[in-house]
Amino acid sequence: MNTKAKKEDTSKKEDTKAKAETKGKDAAEPKSASKATKESKKPGEANSKKEEQGGEFREFFIDELKDILWAEKALLKALPKMSKAATGKELASSFDNHLTETEKQIAVVEQVFELMGEKPATKKCDAMEGLVKETESIISDTEKGSAIRDAGLILAAQKVEHYEIATYGTLAAFADAMEEPKVAKLLRSVLRDEKDSDKKLTALALESVNEAASEE
Ligand SMILES: [Fe+2]
Ligand SMILES: [Fe+2]
C-alpha cells in the first residue's frame, strides 16, 4: 500500500516536471519563430499594408470560407435526397429550386476566394455534416408519404438555413472589418438568398404542412 502510494507520488512529480519542461519549450518557441519570420523577409518582399495589418484575420477568414464552401457542396448532395423524400409537390420543388440556388452560391463563394487572391478550396464542416445526418434520420424515422415527414424536412432545412445565415452574416461583417467591400457585397447577396429560402420554408409550414401533420 505504502509502496504503491509512493510510486503514484513519484509519477505525479515526474508528470509535473515534464509539464514544466514542455511549458518552457512552448514559451520559447514563438519568440524564435517570430525572429525567423522577421529575418527571412527581405525589404522587397514586404506584404501590402492591408495584409500586414490583418494577416492572421485574413487567414482565419479564408479558413471559414473553406468551411462554408464544403458545407454548400455537402448540401448540394443532400438536396436531391430531400426532394425525393418529400411528400408534397411544393416542398419537393422548393428543394429542387434550392439546388439551383446552391450551385449559384457556390460560384459566388468561389468568386470571393478569387477576390481575396486565393484558390477556392474546401475544409470539412462538422456542423453541416451533422445537419445532413439529422436530415437523414428524419427521413428514416418518418413514414413515406406523410405530412409529418414534410414537417420534419422543413425543420431540418430551416436548421441548415439558419446555420448559413449565421455564417454569411458573420463573414460579411468580417469582410467589412478587412475593408473588402466587394467581398462583403457578394456575401450579403448570398445572405439575402438564405433568408428568402428560410422565409419560404416558414410560409410552407404555416400555410399547410404543420396543420396536415397535426391531423395525422
Ligand atoms: Fe446556401
Ligand atoms: Fe441555403
Fold of 54-214: Ferritin (1.20.1260)
Residue 166 Cα to ligand 2 midpoint, Å, equals 11
**pLDDT tens per residue, range 107-142:** 999 999 999 999 999 999 999 999 999 999 999 999
Residue 123 Cα to ligand 2 midpoint, Å, equals 18
CB 86 within 8 A of CB 92: yes
Residue 25 Cα to ligand 2 midpoint, Å, equals 46
Give the C-alpha separation, 48 to 70, whole Å. 29
**pLDDT tens per residue, range 2-26:** 444 444 444 444 444 444 444 444 4
| Conformational region of residue 62, where left means phi above 0, alpha means psi within -120 to 50, and beta covers everything else | alpha
**pLDDT tens per residue, range 28-79:** 334 343 433 434 444 444 445 555 556 899 999 999 999 999 999 999 999 9
Give the C-alpha separation, 53 to 46, whole Å. 12
CB atoms within 5 A of ion ligand 2 belong to 164, 194, 197
Residue ranges of the domains in the chain? 54-214
Predicted local confidence at residue 152, as pLDDT:
97
CB 175 within 8 A of CB 183: yes
What pTM value is reported for the model? 0.75
Residues contacting 101, CB < 8 A, separation 6+ = 193, 197
Specify the residue for cell string 408534397.
88
CB atoms within 5 A of ion ligand 1 belong to 105, 164
* Ligand with an atom nearest the CA of residue 199: 2
Mean pLDDT estimate for the chain: 83
* Ligand with an atom nearest the CA of residue 98: 2
